[in-house]
Amino acid sequence: MKTAHNKAQDKLGNQYLKGCIQLQFDTDIESLFRHYFDTTNRLVKLITTNIVLLVVLYYLTQSIGLTDSHLIVILLTTLLVLSATLSAAGILIHRLHFLCRVSLIIFSLFLLLSTTLFSTASASSNLSQYFIFYFIFLYIYIFSGLIWRDCLSISIIVLISIFLFNHEGIFVFIKSDDFIFFLFPTLFCIGAGYYKEFQSRQFFLIEELLSQQAETDPLTGITNRRTLNHHLVKLWKQGCREKKNLALILVDIDYFKLFNDHYGHIAGDQALKKIATELTHHARRPLDLVARYGGEEFALLLYDIDANALSEHSNKIVTSVAALEIPHEASKISNTLTISCGSRLLYARPNLSVRKLLADADQALYSAKANGRNQAVIFGLNYKENQQ
């Protein structure tokens, strides 16, 4: 049976093999990528957007008459305020990061549309008109931080809008003699934007795969000690804020060295995998975690659990592993593989640290082994003492 980490790695691996030519991942991975893409360099996107707006504003005010320039100044200033407000909200409020994307879509759409339409009435040369148009196009596809599909949609909307505004049904902005001059740079921007997102998606998949591998024990497929320590500190801080309990269960396989000596290391690895899979059944809640703590040691981290539930949980773990009936003729206490558990429950509070949780759980595990193994011991006699 595969663990959650195994399944996540399989999904990422399969997606990497499929490639990202269509610039679209499976639903779960696509959601992660959109969050990653939207939150990357949000401040840089905001600064770049407003710089582009100021450049275009300067160009337009220099290129057309005074009356028209007043109108454009009002229009683009409004866009500047809207873009800056939405982007700032997305930067300052983490849960509203999508506002950055919304602001960029609105900004890019109206910027490209207004610039294109007003350029048809401009007295400047065609070359100057095309330059500012390409400048904006290059920004939208490469530097705006929008996904390629959004950029393509903006371009299509602008072209349709130009056609509707033109009563003759001809693109005034695109002179027939300069069609090739217009076409190739436009295709370049579209292609460059596609390549940029293609590279971003590949980099994202590689980064996620490496991250999964760094957090996972390669033998058992569950999380490793590094991830456990990180999660433990994170949950401790959360427990202090929410005034919740935190429990740690340390699990040690009884006489595992004798098991390896008797059956061989291959059989030992198989036993570790079976026990790891069984332990994952006891950490099903979103904030719970099971990890390989050492050679034959495992750890379960349980959030918001009381003393009675912890005692029942610990005993079930001992019983369920024994029920696997993995032969262990070299054991000094049983004919099958057994485990010992040491648990500690603490009410998270700032004046304590996770080190006490680890130290007390380790002491409880030592007591379980000293008392004959194949049992669960909880540090402390009753829960009220742990809150003092």
> What type of residue sits at position 19?
G
Which residue is listed with tokens 């904006």? 136
Mean pLDDT, rounded, for 363-385: 80
96, pLDDT greater than 70? no
Across the chain, what does the average pLDDT equal?
78
CB-count burial class (<10 Å; 0-12, 13-18, 19+) for 314:
buried
% of the chain exceeding 70 in pLDDT:
68
- Contact call for residues 209 and 8 (beta carbons, < 8 A): no
pLDDT band of residue 114 (cuts 50, 70, 90) is: low
Sequence spans of domains, the chain: 4-214, 225-386
234, pLDDT greater than 60? yes
- Contact call for residues 344 and 379 (beta carbons, < 8 A): yes
The correct answer on CATH 3.30.70.270 for the domain covering 225-386 is yes
pLDDT tens for 146-203 read: 888 888 888 887 777 666 655 454 444 555 555 566 677 778 888 888 998 898 888 8
DSSP H stretches of helix in the chain: 4-18, 27-39, 42-63, 66-92, 98-119, 126-138, 148-165, 179-215, 225-242, 256-263, 265-280, 307-323, 354-370, 383-386
229, pLDDT greater than 60? yes
Predicted local confidence at residue 185, as pLDDT? 73
Nearest to residue 9, comparing CAs of 216, 201, 200? 216
Nearest to residue 25, comparing CAs of 265, 197, 244? 197
Mean pLDDT, rounded, for 105-122: 64
pLDDT tens for 240-293 read: 999 899 999 999 999 999 999 999 999 999 999 999 999 999 988 888 999 999
pLDDT band of residue 343 (cuts 50, 70, 90) is: very high
Predicted local confidence at residue 46, as pLDDT? 65
